Amino acid sequence: MSFSTPYITFPGNAEEVFRYYEEVFGGTLHLLTYDSMPEMAGIPFVPPPNAVAHAQLLGGDLVLAGGDGFEEPGKELSQDLSDEVYAILLNLDTVERAHEIIEKVTSTGGSVAMPFEQAPWGDHYGQVKDRYGVLFHLNVEGDHSLNEGTTG
C-alpha cells in the first residue's frame, strides 16, 4: 500500500525537535546521524557533529520524517520555519486528545493559532503552532448531520 509522510528539514536542531515531538505526540523515534553512518562518497557537504541525516517518528498521533538541513554554496540556510507554506493536519480520535496536545504545545512555548472548537461543518477544529514555528491543524471528526442539506 502506498502512503505519504511529511518530511521537514530543520536548521540544525532536528534531534531536539523530534525528541520534543516524541513527548507531545507519542510514538517511537528513530534517529540516524551522519556520524553513525559509514563514510558516504559523493556527499556534497561536511555535516556538523551529531547532525541528523534522517529522523522518523512512528506511531502515536502521526508519522513524521525529517532531518537537519545545511547551507549550500551561495545559499544561506533559512532559520525560519514559520513561512506557513506547509502545515500538518492531525486527524485525532477524541476532543480530549486534541486538548492534551494543545496544552503540551502551548505550555512549552507554542501558541494557539486558531481556537479549537466545533466548526460549522460538524468537526472540532483548531490550529496550534509549536515553538519551532510548525503549524498543526487539529481535527476531530464530529456530527456531520449539522450540515445536511447543504451543497457545495
**What are the tens digits of pLDDT across the range 82-98?**
555 578 999 999 999 99
Of 71, 93, 116, the residue at which a domain comes to its end is 71
Please check whether residues 90 and 114 belong to one and the same domain: yes
Q: What is the pLDDT of residue 151?
A: 46
Please check whether residues 113 and 60 belong to one and the same domain: no
93, 98, 92, 66: which is closest to 81 by C-alpha?
A: 66
Residues in the chain, overall count: 152
Of 11, 38, 71, the residue at which a domain comes to its end is 71
**pTM here?**
0.76
Of 48, 71, 94, the residue at which a domain comes to its end is 71
* Domain containing residue 52: CATH number: 3.10.180.10
Element (H, E) at 84: none
Q: Which domain holds residue 34?
A: 1-71
Rounded CA-CA distance 30/35 in Å is: 15
Q: How many domains does the chain have?
A: 2
Please check whether residues 120 and 147 belong to one and the same domain: yes
Please check whether residues 65 and 86 belong to one and the same domain: no
115, 108, 104: which is closest to 132 by C-alpha?
A: 108
Q: Please give the residue that has the higher pLDDT: either 113 or 81.
A: 113
pLDDT for 36-51, tens place per residue? 876 665 566 777 888 9
Residue 114, phi then psi, degrees to nearest 5: -150, 130
Please check whether residues 118 and 146 belong to one and the same domain: yes
Please check whether residues 84 and 44 belong to one and the same domain: no
**3-state SS assignment for residue 142:** coil
DSSP for 108-128? TT-EEEEEEEE-TTSSEEEEE
